[in-house]
Structure 1
Amino acid sequence: MMKVRSIFAAVTVFSLPCLLVAQQKPQSAAAVKLDFEAVGTPIKADPVDAKIAAALKQVSVERIKANITRLVEFNNRSTISSTETDLKPGTGVLAAADWIKSQFESYSKECGGCLEVSFDESVEQPQAGFNNSRPRIIKPTPLRNVVAILKGTDPVASKRMYLVTGHYDTRETDVMNTHDFAPGANDDSSGTAVSMEAARVLSKLKFPATLVFVTVAGEEQGLNGSHHLAERARKEGWELEGVLNNDIVGGDTTPGDKLQSKQRIRVFSQGILPSAPIEQIRQTLNIGAENETPSRQLARQVLAVGRTYFPGTFHPVMELRLDRFLRGGDHRSFSEAGFASVRFTEWRENFDHQHQHVRVENGKEYGDLLKYDDFDYIARVARLNIAALATLANSPGIPQNVRVTTSNLDNDTILKWDAPRSYTQPVTYQIVWRETTVNDWQYVVNATQFPGKDANSTRLPVSKDNVFFGVRACTAAGICSQAVGPVPSRE
């Protein structure tokens, strides 16, 4: 018995320190700040610009409705109707193009000739077909994009451009049908009306950078008009830093549909470009940066604009997809040409009201009819586009050559960058970041709070392995560009 008691006593004495340690209360998780939480401040809405806020009030639901109503009256705006000779006068795609151009010209007259209005013309040659379908253009077909340019006021910053577009062509169930009623009230008179209203409202203001308002043809035939314009922009060296494409933004209102949201708009954007050099794709995948592309950063800027100008009322939702399943849009043309671009589309589409022969069948009505558009919703989409365009045009533009130093193994992050290409005013820089499992920016800090050794650099006590970083350029008034994600550098 003595032996047993001795062993028990020894064990008890030996275990006492461990027991005391175990009884100590762990530090509260809420009291522990991780490095990325301790260094920055939670990101908030950017300051409201009074002129932009005033411009948003000028958006007219009545004008939007009138423009869409007039577009529907052209009966069938199929791109290939440009080759037809037996259309009723005042109908068809060319008549629609002439009318849109006249509207842009009337806006220009109101602002003393501030808009440069023109046709961006081309002839689309016969196609071989795509996606195992029959060709949608079978003979040389004239295309007319309608373009209105609001030149920037700053001689240097005006080289930088931002573009908004929608397609004004329509289609029937049979994409080759050029005569039957194809109103396209939602797809895409709604997007065309957004571009037109943006031109009317923003032409009354002045911006350092240049704004381009466009309506394109040939979308239903294979993104032909946007492809031509994007290639023109690439060949001519446009400093095009953002493209906003509006396609199906009518807020379809079908009786009985309780799942549509009039407080949301989807924002689609390109991830990795399949056409990018293979080494660039490999590097992007190695560091998990497939969501840090220029188009995804532009989408995040749209979200930021939404926080600033429409808190709690209208919510842009970032979709990590180029587009919807089985569908495509004109932003793809610009993305493939190397330009940051996004697509706006209503929250819930009704496919009975798209690409349909107008009819009633078994008691159900088919067709993209005017009665299913929600003009108040389209006006909200127009305001979001206007706020985004104005913010971007007032910003300094994106920082260039943004990189993260990867030559050392440490828990700091060294970021370096060059100034925006086309800006002459004083520029400040902000560093934004988010956890790798989060989609939108969470934290921000002014770069000057953690200066690096070189100009336009910072050294942050935040591990580059645990977050995604971005650098954005801001004016003294706090109007910022979209962020740019860094690429690894051994410098």
Structure 2
Amino acid sequence: MKKIVVFLMILMLSTFFTTLSIGHNGEIKNLIPRNINYPEFIPIPGELPEDFQVPDKQSISYGNLPYYNIEIQSSDGEIIELIEQLDVEMLLGYLENLTSFGPRVTGTEECSVAADYIYSEFEDVGFDVRFHNWEYYGYSDRNVEATFPGVDVTSDEIYIICGHYDSVPGSPGADDDASGVATLMAIGEIFSNYSFNHTIRFVAFSGEEQGLLGSHVYAEEAALNEDNIVAVLNADMTGYAITEVHGNNVRVFEDDFSVWITDFMDDVAVQYNDYIRLNVVPSGYTWGSDHYSFWENGYCAIFAHEYEFNPYWHTPSDTIDNMNLTYFEKTSRLLLASLAELAQMGVDNSEPNPPSIVGPAIGKPEVSYNYTFTAVDIDDDRIYYYVDWGDGQFTDWAGPFDSGEGVTIDHLWIEKGEYSIRAKSKDTHNQESNWETFKVNIPREKVIVRTIYLENILKLFNRFINLNRLFTLINL
């Protein structure tokens, strides 16, 4: 009888954790994963208060989310160069340091020292780092945010990779979730030597184990600031595998609006299979980690998680020794390559020179005139030209043309007056030059009449001179 009761209790717990998921409007609903017939376990925070409820925030309409169709753009060589730098040795260094502080329970000295360490490491590689202080649900602590600005000055896109550095009491939290934080720190170290078109934020949250508290405040503030966060990659428990099947697969949890990120990561895994060797397994919807805070605020986010759930989760045995570091390297490499492709690798680049402007400085109304614009790019990038004709008309980024190759554009002015042609150039990295100005006079009628009058006087004067010469000759 006792065996039957234990079996029923295990069955009930398994069913509960397999199906529990909170929808956008806060109701409990069944998990319906894509391409998984028998999901075994859905992770949830470990120290949820008894009265905790996932907040229901509907300040942003999900119907307003844009549809993203981002394609792999970087050259294989560039991404492979990044991937090959991320190895077990680098990851292990961060893991050992993070777990050396002991259990990192939100609000404790150990958690604070861990935050200082994360801050210092990101600061050392040259990122803009800040502590994001938060108070929520009776707790207070700090998130750590490191920002790596993009080189494309026309882009306001932000891509986030995140994990949580807190753990439950009594657990060193190696896999949960020093693994995720070690991943984003290793990626940050590698990325710091390169440039990317779009801004990347590396964020380590606290308060995850108490119910996603740190990320809740962070994502809510980002939405209020109207931050253009395009995608969030949340890494939480990515280092456990005991069989070949486990080691060749990684789960990616998603909502309907974030499926495109999962599909993108799958494309990346295929593109760089020789260096990653992982299958991306779309795993449906769960609220159990910090990605959910971004879903609640209208942002697209995924949750990367090991294929086989770590049985040492939330115990003193969640140690590095019980992780599979080879598998951990593979999941970290997938996240690195996906983030690099999303943020798009840039180059050290200088803007082109302002274009020279050659053409007539005086003309007539309703007559078309040609003007030639020529700029040189010291990086020999191809060039686009933008022209403001001064009369409310514009030529919008004509090109691209080779550096030093001029482009000739015709224009006519309807009204008489003085106009300033303004032109600037940009290269293929969207780096823009300063403006160059060229003044054009389309004279008023009284100026034209006066000019004609003077021309007639000169003609009469010349005739008078010629007649005077004739009379002189006759007198001779």
In the superposition, the TM-score normalised over structure 2's length comes to 0.55
- Describe how 1:231-242 pairs up with structure 2 within 5 A: 231-242=220-231
Q: How many residues align?
A: 281
Aligned residue type for 2:97? R
Question: Bigger relative contact order, structure 1 or 2, given CA contacts below 8 A and separation 6+?
Answer: 1
Contact 2:205 2:214 in 1 (8 A): yes
Give the Cα separation in 1 of the matches to 2:272 and 2:125.
25
Partner of 2:300: 340
- Describe how 1:64-103 pairs up with structure 2 within 5 A: 64-81=91-108, 92-103=110-121
Residue 376 of structure 1 deviates from its aligned partner by 2.2
Partner of 2:154: 156
Aligned residue type for 1:75? G
Give the Cα separation in 2 of the matches to 1:339 and 1:261.
30
Give the alignment's Cα RMSD to 1 decimal. Answer: 2.5
> Which structure is larger by alpha-carbon Rg, 1 or 2?
2
Partner of 2:448: none
Matched, 1:106 2:66: no
Partner of 1:355: 314
Contact 1:47 1:308 in 2 (8 A): no
Contact 1:267 1:316 in 2 (8 A): no
Matched, 1:261 2:246: yes
Query: Sequence identity, in percent?
Result: 31
Aligned residue type for 1:342? I
Give the Cα separation in 1 of the matches to 2:97 and 2:345.
35
Aligned residue type for 2:176? D
CA 1:210–1:313 in 2, change beyond 3 Å: closer, same or farther? closer
**Superposed CA offset, 1:344-386 (max 9, x none):** 11110132x0112x3xxxxxxxx21120112222222221111
Partner of 1:205: 194
Give the Cα separation in 2 of the matches to 1:63 and 1:47.
24
**Superposed CA offset, 1:187-221 (max 9, x none):** 00101101111111111111111011111101100
Partner of 2:319: 369
CA 1:63–1:312 in 2, change beyond 3 Å: closer, same or farther? closer
Partner of 1:389: 339
In structure 2, the residue corresponding to 1:334 is in which secondary structure? helix
Give the Cα separation in 2 of the matches to 1:313 and 1:206.
22
CA 1:150–1:100 in 2, change beyond 3 Å: closer, same or farther? same
Give the Cα separation in 1 of the matches to 2:329 and 2:80.
14
Partner of 1:3: none
Residue 48 of structure 1 deviates from its aligned partner by 4.1
Residue 334 of structure 1 deviates from its aligned partner by 0.7
Contact 1:46 1:308 in 2 (8 A): no
| Structure 1 residue runs without a partner (length 5+) | 1-43, 83-91, 109-114, 127-140, 173-180, 272-292, 359-366, 397-424, 427-475, 478-491
Partner of 2:142: 144
Give the Cα separation in 2 of the matches to 1:311 and 1:266.
19
**Superposed CA offset, 1:46-65 (max 9, x none):** 77432221111111321211
Partner of 2:134: 122
In structure 1, the residue corresponding to 2:247 is in which secondary structure? coil
In structure 1, the residue corresponding to 2:194 is in which secondary structure? coil
Contact 1:267 1:345 in 2 (8 A): yes
**Superposed CA offset, 1:27-77 (max 9, x none):** xxxxxxxxxxxxxxxxx9877432221111111321211111111111110
Give the Cα separation in 1 of the matches to 2:85 and 2:95.
18
CA 1:343–1:221 in 2, change beyond 3 Å: closer, same or farther? same
Contact 2:82 2:190 in 1 (8 A): yes
CA 1:207–1:47 in 2, change beyond 3 Å: closer, same or farther? closer
In structure 1, the residue corresponding to 2:78 is in which secondary structure? helix
